[in-house]
A and B are shown apart, each in its own frame.
Chain A
Amino acid sequence: MTEAAAPEHAAPILRLRGIGRRFGGLHAVRDVDLDVAHGERRAILGPNGAGKTTLFNVISGDFPPSSGTIEFHGEEITTLAPAARARLGMGRTYQKSRLFLGLSVEDNLYLAVLGVQKGHLRPIRLRRRDGELRDRARDLARTVGLEGREKTLVGSLSHGEQRQLEVGMARAVNPTLMMLDEPASGLSRGERVALTDLLLQLDPSITLILIEHDMDVALRVAERVTMMHDGRVIVEGTPDEIRANQTVHDLYLGRGNRNDG
């Protein structure tokens, strides 16, 4: 048992209680309790349609929950807008690329950096202040391995590079919590290894939650795993416990990797 990896006594960075989300008659997520500790690496697994991405959308504020409460750094954020959550240090990526395809890599990162600044609704703005933000955007491009690609239009990047950029966008908000939605989906084996390394090298003070279909990536990166099925959390434990769990085997491990869900 690696209880030390998830100290129950420390206040969690993220605490979900009784979270539910319905779409009409469909209960995409129901009654989810989740505690994620500071600096923890958490993977959320589950078959397609288990409600993983919906849970992410509820945490990041893209959808409000139908029921339940969310606390982040001990503060209740249940009804806060996504941007306000980003300002509090929540960064996320999207499973289906939601980048600005017609803009350059640098502009994408710049927009992510500018978005968490205050007072950006200015049609005419001094370039001086802007320079710092541009520098930060270029730094981010470097940290996610897109050096030299800053001026390239995102639409002409490879799929793998777009995933890297997504990670860069999530990091732009100086997150204390980063949520990655299937970062490895659609990547080649080599790219997966590179991405896993990128995640393993991440600043240990950043808490990480990732949804991942690829068990190799998920179980290498994660310290704890939450298994979802039909909108509920069915098992939670260390990667070893998950590997050993019969329910998980029945539900999931036999299945191939799919990119949707």
Chain B
Amino acid sequence: MTPGSEATAAAAAIAGEARPSARVDEGRSLRIAFAVMVAFFLLAPLAIYPIFLMKVMCFGLFACAFNLLLGYGGLLSFGHAMFLGIAGYVAAYLAKEGVALEALHIGAVTLPVGISLPPFTPELAILSGSLAAGVLGVLVGLIAIRRQGIYFAMITLALAQMVYFFCIQAPFTGGEDGIQAVPRGKLFGLIDLSNITAMYATVFVIFVSGFLLIYRIIHSPFGQVLKAIRENEPRAISLGYDADRYKLLAFVLSATLAGLAGATSAIVFQLAALNAVHWTMSGEVVLMTLVGGLGTVFGPVVGAFAVLGMENYLAQLGAWVTIVQGAIFVICVLTFRRGIVGELSRWLRKPL
């Protein structure tokens, strides 16, 4: 390095133009954070109740899926619980009952179908649940993405309420009782998931795969365009991006991944119940994402841990949990708007 170039570099550093090096670091800080997260979920069962950790992973994935839509696409869905819930119902039902469809009655018409399948293995049940959520995502997305902002949120909320009442009425959801005593079954017909270690490992693999998929989506050109649409939709359209198709695809991906979380959690907790489709669940995922850090890669996982931890450890307060939660949410929004990870990332000046 010549003295001249050294001086230029120094001048650039003084002018605060250390950005290129920050960019080089970007991948590294994310890799370190990822390693920390993986290590945490691998080692934490030694100290923390594994069932609780599995819940954190399921809801962490749910919140990550939600964050894909809100944090990167700028779309606030206030009905995301419908995807979590419907996938849970489908997975639980298939894992418990399989399919026994003699005939399909549509009004007066009866179509002989005659499909009969034994109870699904957990991986197929989870897959089917996620697909069901994806299909629901297409239907809801096609309607909702036609509007923006508050109208988008209201449409998703309204449709989620319809799904909620459908789940109360439908014959296969067990109404108020839900679907209980869902067998965990054997993964690929081989690994018995009633073994807590096997179950934990399965959830861990699903969580990490879902997380990495979302990471990949965010950092793909698709994710880049999604951010552009969030920043300035008319300009994105005039640059040649069909914004509606991007938003729809983001919505469906988010719904499917939320479904993956819901289906997994139904198998883990052997239960699909109404609380998963209730609007308070949609509110909870907003809370998790905001507390953890909207638009950050790791925020939703941290947020899920924080919110669920709060619910768990404050459980003895009974009804006061909601009030404490509300207070924490208000404090969070007023004092550290960027969320835990968002503030941390700002403080470290590294993307997380």
Complexed CA–CA distance, A150 and B230 (Å):
21
- Give a binary string over A151-175; 1 marks a CB under 8 Å from any B CB, 0 the rest: 1100000000000000001000000
- Give a binary string over B227-269; 1 marks a CB under 8 Å from any A CB, 0 the rest: 1101110111111111001100100010000000000000000
A116 at the interface (CB under 8 A from B): yes
Not counting A98-B234, A99-B235, A100-B235, a sample of 5 additional A-B residue pairs whose C-beta atoms are within 8 angstroms of each other reads: A102-B231, A107-B224, A111-B225, A114-B224, A152-B17
B224 touches which of A111, A124, A150 (Cβ 8 Å): A111
Complexed CA–CA distance, A164 and B232 (Å):
19
The answer to whether A120 and B241 touch (CB under 8 A), given A102-B227, A111-B224, A125-B221, is yes
When the two chains form their complex, are residues B239 and A112 in contact, meaning their CB atoms are under 8 A apart?
Answer: yes
When the two chains form their complex, are residues B220 and A121 in contact, meaning their CB atoms are under 8 A apart?
Answer: no
Q: Could you say which of B230, B235, B237 has the most chain A C-beta atoms within 10 Å of its C-beta?
A: B235
B23 at the interface (CB under 8 A from A): yes
Q: Chain A residues near B221 (CB, 8 Å)?
A: 114, 120, 122, 125, 130, 133
Q: Chain B residues near A107 (CB, 8 Å)?
A: 224, 227-228
Q: Chain B residues near A169 (CB, 8 Å)?
A: 239
Complexed CA–CA distance, A60 and B23 (Å):
35
CB distance from B217 to the nearest CB of A (A): 5
When the two chains form their complex, are residues A121 and B228 in contact, meaning their CB atoms are under 8 A apart?
Answer: no
The answer to whether A121 and B222 touch (CB under 8 A), given A86-B239, A98-B235, is yes
Q: Chain A residues near B232 (CB, 8 Å)?
A: 98-101
B19 at the interface (CB under 8 A from A): yes
Q: Chain B residues near A152 (CB, 8 Å)?
A: 17, 19
Query: CB within 8 Å of A: which of B179-223?
Result: 216-217, 220-223
When the two chains form their complex, are residues A123 and B253 in contact, meaning their CB atoms are under 8 A apart?
Answer: yes
Complexed CA–CA distance, A99 and B223 (Å):
17
A115 at the interface (CB under 8 A from B): yes
The answer to whether A151 and B19 touch (CB under 8 A), given A82-B237, A116-B240, is yes
When the two chains form their complex, are residues A123 and B23 in contact, meaning their CB atoms are under 8 A apart?
Answer: no
Complexed CA–CA distance, A116 and B221 (Å):
13
Interface range on chain A (Cβ under 8 Å from partner)? 35 or more
B238 touches which of A83, A100, A110, A133 (Cβ 8 Å): A83
What residues make up the interface of A, taking CB atoms closer than 8 Å to B?
Answer: 60-62, 82-84, 86-87, 94, 98-103, 107, 110-112, 114-116, 120-125, 130, 133, 148, 150-152, 169
The answer to whether A123 and B222 touch (CB under 8 A), given A83-B240, A102-B227, is yes
When the two chains form their complex, are residues B238 and A123 in contact, meaning their CB atoms are under 8 A apart?
Answer: no
When the two chains form their complex, are residues A151 and B231 in contact, meaning their CB atoms are under 8 A apart?
Answer: no
8 A-B pairs (CB sep. < 8 Å):
A60-B238, A62-B238, A114-B224, A120-B222, A121-B242, A121-B249, A123-B220, A130-B221
Q: Chain A residues near B4 (CB, 8 Å)?
A: none
The answer to whether A114 and B225 touch (CB under 8 A), given A87-B240, A123-B217, A125-B220, is yes
Q: Could you say which of B224, B234, B253 has the most chain A C-beta atoms within 10 Å of its C-beta?
A: B224
When the two chains form their complex, are residues B241 and A83 in contact, meaning their CB atoms are under 8 A apart?
Answer: yes
The answer to whether A115 and B241 touch (CB under 8 A), given A120-B225, A121-B222, is yes
Number of A-B contacts (CB under 8 A): 96
Complexed CA–CA distance, A93 and B42 (Å):
52
The answer to whether A83 and B237 touch (CB under 8 A), given A121-B245, A123-B253, A151-B19, is yes
Complexed CA–CA distance, A123 and B68 (Å):
12
B3 at the interface (CB under 8 A from A): no
A117 to chain B: closest residue by CB: B240
Q: Chain B residues near A115 (CB, 8 Å)?
A: 239-241
CB distance from B243 to the nearest CB of A (A): 11
Complexed CA–CA distance, A150 and B249 (Å):
29
Q: Chain A residues near B222 (CB, 8 Å)?
A: 120-125
CB distance from B256 to the nearest CB of A (A): 11
Q: 5 shortest A-B CB distances, which residue pairs?
A: A83-B240, A115-B240, A115-B239, A100-B231, A82-B238
B24 to chain A: closest residue by CB: A151
CB distance from B52 to the nearest CB of A (A): 32
Q: Chain B residues near A84 (CB, 8 Å)?
A: 240
Q: Chain B residues near A87 (CB, 8 Å)?
A: 240
Q: Chain A residues near B237 (CB, 8 Å)?
A: 82-83
CB distance from A231 to the nearest CB of B (A): 23
B20 at the interface (CB under 8 A from A): yes
CB distance from A169 to the nearest CB of B (A): 8
Q: Chain A residues near B23 (CB, 8 Å)?
A: 151
Q: Could you say which of A116, A122, A124 has the most chain B C-beta atoms within 10 Å of its C-beta?
A: A124
Q: Chain B residues near A148 (CB, 8 Å)?
A: 12, 17
Q: Chain B residues near A110 (CB, 8 Å)?
A: 224
When the two chains form their complex, are residues A124 and B220 in contact, meaning their CB atoms are under 8 A apart?
Answer: yes
CB distance from B346 to the nearest CB of A (A): 14
Complexed CA–CA distance, A60 and B235 (Å):
12
Q: Chain B residues near A123 (CB, 8 Å)?
A: 216-217, 220, 222-223, 249, 253
Q: Could you say which of B19, B234, B245 has the most chain A C-beta atoms within 10 Å of its C-beta?
A: B19
When the two chains form their complex, are residues A100 and B228 in contact, meaning their CB atoms are under 8 A apart?
Answer: yes
The answer to whether A103 and B231 touch (CB under 8 A), given A111-B225, A122-B220, is yes
When the two chains form their complex, are residues A111 and B228 in contact, meaning their CB atoms are under 8 A apart?
Answer: yes
Q: Chain B residues near A120 (CB, 8 Å)?
A: 221-222, 225, 241
Complexed CA–CA distance, A179 and B241 (Å):
20
Complexed CA–CA distance, A151 and B24 (Å):
11
